[in-house]
Every structure is written in C-alpha cells, then in structure tokens.
Homo-oligomer: A and B are copies of this chain.
Amino acid sequence: MVGKSQIKLIKSLQQKKYRNQHKLFVVEGEKTVRELLLSKIEVSRIFTSEENFGKKLGHICDLVSISEMKQMSSLKNSSSVLGVFHIPKSEKLEIKDWTVGLDDIRDPGNLGTIIRLCDWFGIKNLVCSITTVDCYNPKVLQATMGSISRVNIVYMNLKLFLEETELPIYGAFMDGKVVYKEKIPEKGVLVMGNEANGVSKEIEALCTNKISIPQFGDSTTESLNVATATSILLNEIRRFSF
C-alpha cells in the first residue's frame, strides 16, 4: 500500500525541479535497484508489486499493487520494482587522470551512454555544463544502468572549470587533427559538444588541442553521434598508454 500523496511525490520526481527540491531520484528495474543498493548511494524506499521480492532482494520493500506501480512508473511497461534514492552530493573534483567535460549535451540517451563509457574506461569525474541534461532524468538512468553510482558527476560552469585547469584540453571537432597521430598525454580534459552545434565558440577558445576521428565513407555521411564519438576518443586515450 502506498498513499496518494506518496504516488504524487514519486511521479513528481520525473521532473528535475522536484528532484532538486526533494533531493531524491527514482530508478526502475531489479538490476539497477540492486546495483544502487550495493553502492554508496543512500536508499530512501523500495516499492515492489511482487510478494516476497524483499526477501529475494535482501532489503525491506513496500508492497504495492500493479496499478499503483503503473501510476508511479515513468515507463510504458513498468517493472516490478522501483527504488527511491537520495541524490548524492557531488564529490570534490580531484583530477588525477583524464576527465570528460560535456558542453550542452541535451539527449538523455547520449548522456546515459557517456556515463556508462566513463565507468568502462575508468574516468572518475564527469563535468557537465549547467545546460547539459540532468543525470537523474529517468531516461538517462535507463541508459546508464548502475554506472551512475561509480562516476562523480558535477554540474558547473564548464568555462570556469576549463579556465582554471592546468591540464591540456582536448576538444572534439570535425576539423580537428586526426586523433590517431596525436601524442596523448597522461592527463587531460576531453570536451564533447552539443548534438547539433558541437563545441561552443567560448569553449572552443579554451581548447589547447582540437582532435577528430577520420571519416572513411562517403562525404555526405552524417557526423558521428556524440556518444559514439566519445567511445572512440576515450578508447584512443586509453589505448595510447596501454
């Protein structure tokens, strides 16, 4: 059982405004809930529509009806488990390695994929411009899976961050130098730009190195999607010192 006001609160967490107000976010699906329970992220409540699920999960759950679950869910096909977690405080930025900076990434699927890539490639810090889509957006969480708990995501003025860093700043540009030929340093910041417009002019001015991925097909081809380009560039960075 869950009260109407609880359902209303949980539904409201689909919006950034209410997530920030309550400092809570929602994930759906057994796998992600399990991963987050094992992480440092603090749980608020877990709802399930499946009897005995709490036992299986090793965590106290609130049993709800399927119809209540549907009301709370942001998915077309709701899962049998939904977890409410506390938004963790961003950790202080301690840059010891490569860091990724995102300049106005708008698509939740792209951000989710990039967070998962940071996790795979051992990138500890992800600095997002204030205009980048919120990482606790349900669609981002669907694409990141548990990676959200292993990458320190900081929203801040990207320009200020880049102005203050002493590290080399590598930006991805269509007309940059072919990345294959670059001598890649041990530490740096990789900046990826907006889906439609690329890296903005003011951020471009701060880039110490402009890099690109060569195109092998027909020149009429669309540019690479930003998440795909990030995967290739992070691979290039890691393979260089492998």
Contact = CB atoms under 8 A, between A and B. Distances in A.
What is the predominant secondary structure among interface residues of chain A facing chain B? helix
Interface string A16-51: 000000000000000000010010000000000000
Interface in A141-159: 145-147, 150
Interface string A145-185: 11100100000000000000000000000000010100000
Contacts of A238: 214, 216
A121 B217 contact: yes
Given A146-B222, A231-B231, A216 B120 contact: yes
Interface stretch (A54-62, A84-92, A111-119, A203-211): A111-119
A225 interface: yes
B119 A222 contact: yes
A2 interface: no
A221 interface: yes
A198 interface: no
A41 B214 CA distance: 27
